[in-house]
Structure 1
Amino acid sequence: MQQPLKVMVIDDSRTIRRTAQLLLGEAGCEVITASDGFDALAKIVDHAPQIIFVDVLMPRLDGYQTCALIKHNSAFKDIPVILLSSRDGVFDKARGRVVGSDQFLTKPFSKQALLDALRAHVPGFVEQPQHAS
């Protein structure tokens, strides 16, 4: 049996973190959550996620800054980073590309959008539905 995909979700909203955790958990992913960029950077070292979803608008260290820090670190630069934002203007998306994000998802996101992002950025990702025990 293959290892579950390690997915990190960084968002200052507990509701968004719980929703993403539930949706990704249903697909068989192991979800690591962080409430902001600083919290996330420590956890990335410990957990080595295979893909990261990060909210753009967060206190202390926003999603753009967090993404830039991940992409400028040689150990983590190859981890796909998907920005999440309720703002989906051209400027927001362009700024996301400048800091190295791999994709931009608009909130509220659907389970399908999350899974499509995983399929697009994680080679060999196959949804592992959780079996009711």
Structure 2
Amino acid sequence: MLAVRKEMLEQSYIQQQEAPLILIADDSQMVCLILEFTLRRAGYNVRSFADGFSMLRWLHDGGPVPRLIFLDLIMPRMDGYQVARWLRKQPTFDNTKLVMHSRCNGILERLKGRLAGVQAWISKPSTTQEILYMAWRYCMEVSPKKCEERRTS
């Protein structure tokens, strides 16, 4: 009962605010569909791409800056590390959080992910709870600037 009420409050918060944008880059159409369904049902604005290169091209062409990106590690054209490194070189994406969502989850892969700028890692197959937790964790954060604005008003 308490978990259901907490979920309802979180969904209400998302609906009151502008829904955060979450991007997904994964070459598995099934993974994209599952993540999209899960995140949209929770109230997030979601867009998915078949590979990291397509996502970066969309962002470069004026797509809005996302709050969170779920990246597969192994994709055609650009792997998840390359996408993360490119994003981390662009100041526009300084506040965008990156979560690697991959079957490759050894310590070396995770270390390389951290060095590329990835904040978190979810192993495939993942649960709905893991996906929603990452979305909540990185999309519900209140920035220090917003905290300061609240204190002074």
Partner of 2:27: 12
- The answer to whether residue 71 in structure 2 is matched with residue 54 in structure 1 is yes
Deviates further, 68-77 or 44-53: 44-53
Structure 2 residues without counterparts, runs of 5 or longer: 1-15, 143-153
Deviations along 1:65-89, whole A, 9 cap, x unmatched? 0011011111112200001110211
The aligned length equals: 124
Aligned counterparts of 1:48 and 1:85: Cα–Cα separation in 2: 23
Aligned counterparts of 2:137 and 2:109: Cα–Cα separation in 1: 21
TM-score relative to the length of structure 1: 0.88
Partner of 1:121: 138
1:98 pairs with 108, 115, 122, which one? 115
Runs of 4+ in structure 1 over 6 Å off: none
TM-score relative to the length of structure 2: 0.77
CA contact (8 A) 2:26 2:49 kept: yes
Deviations along 1:38-91, whole A, 9 cap, x unmatched? 111122341211110010010110001001101111111220000111021111
Partner of 1:32: 47
- The secondary structure found in structure 2 opposite 1:22 is helix
Which structure is richer in relative contact order (CA contacts within 8 A, separation 6 or more)? 1
Looking at CA atoms only, which structure, 1 or 2, has the larger radius of gyration? 2
